[in-house]
Amino acid sequence: MEDKMGSECEGPEMSLVCLTDFQEHAREHLSKSTRDFIEGGADDSVTRDENIAAFKRIRLRPRYLRDVSEVDTRTTIQGEEISAPICIAPTGFHCLVWPDGEMSTARAAQAAGICYITSTFASCSLEDIVIAAPEGLRWFQLYVHPDLQLNKQLIQRVESLGFKALVITLDAPVCGNRRHDIRNQLRKNLTLTDLQSPKKGNSIPYFQMTPISTSLCWNDLSWFQSITRLPIILKGILTKEDAELAVKHKVQGIIVSNHGGRQLDEVLASIDALTEVVAAVKGKIEVYLDGGVRTGNDVLKALALGARCIFLGRPILWGLAYKGEHGVKEVLNILTNEFHTSMALTGCKKKRPITRLLRLPTGGSQTHSTVCDAVLPGPHPVWRLMPHISHISNPSTPVLQALQSPVFPKCSIPFFVSLTIIFCFLA
């Protein structure tokens, strides 16, 4: 009788209805070393946690009585249409969480009609990934190897396989101090399939080589441009100075990213760095974001600050750990549906004039959260939104950065800067 009652109390398996449900499931079902590999950040994991917390400091300012009967989530990246501005970031070793690894991930991305950035550290071969999802939109992420010939061979290979862009990761000239991986000694058991010397065999241990160049510089980008026709996207930019250099060196895109908090700890959250980068490029190249996105509201906020789309990292691995390809599909569907709802509930629709709003503090050191419900005319929606700003007496806060973003006409900047300085002296 007791066993029967216990069985009845347990009931059917609970549905997973948000991305954090998938995270909890992964925590319960993955081994400790794999779980730590996915969840771990560098050092004290300050940036990893701040990536999520920073989104929650932004508040939405919805507008109503607007026709949202037809909400269109489609957009384009590098000229290719995707079903929603929600794509898959490069993460390595998917076979740690599901037997088919990156092949399942690629199939899910193809089914969803979005872009999947395949990592240099994929645990499946590039050929197998392409065979698994031949119609999918794929970009390739490159960790630049010291051997230029190896880089050239790999780039030509991905180009011949139909990958549509080359994503060069900048923020990992050395590996971040990931304490959990060091304690678990995980990396000595990982092998690479595609990052190999032409003189060596098919698979090599992750740490029996120096896989990432420590000497890569801006001037080296011209060499990559000379050997490929693929658009080049730079991943890991967090400052306006580097964003301006990216434009100067004629790359086609930037992914604002801090590597999920896994490289240099205590840097800006990706969403906090986005405004600065978007302002610096002045619309000349596309800007994307990864890090900390967990809800449809987060996607909306990133787009409002100027991102063309977002890329998901850890949540994809949680979905993969749940049900492989079908788990990744569920993660993408949930986030896309949440984003659709966020659009509708904030009154966002395409082909509507842009609205510019700014609410400055009325007293004290805090300001109300400020949002622009802005959608530019065009085939797909574009938003602009200002972040929550606190402690304006500190000149390093986002206030001055925000005033210089494309949200505001240039003629209004001196007025707002003067007003901000006055508040600083009064505070």
User: Among all residues, which ones are annotated catalytic?
Assistant: 259
Q: What are phi and psi of 200, to 5 degrees?
A: -110, 180
Cβ neighbour number for residue 179 with a 10 Å cutoff: 15
Measure the CA dihedral 119/314/341/59, to 10°: -110
SS3 content of the chain, % helix, strand, coil (to 5): 40, 10, 45
Q: How far is CA 374 from the centre of its chain?
A: 22
Nearest to 332 by CA among 362, 296, 303, 302: 296
Listed in sequence order, the DSSP H helices in 30-73 are: 32-39, 46-56
Query: Which amino acid is it at 417?
Result: V
184 Cβ contact partners less than 8 Å away, ≥ 6 residues apart? 32, 33, 36, 37
Alpha-carbon distance of 427 to 424, in angstroms, equals: 5
Alpha-carbon distance of 69 to 343, in angstroms, equals: 11
Output the six-digit token pair for 182. Answer: 């060091």
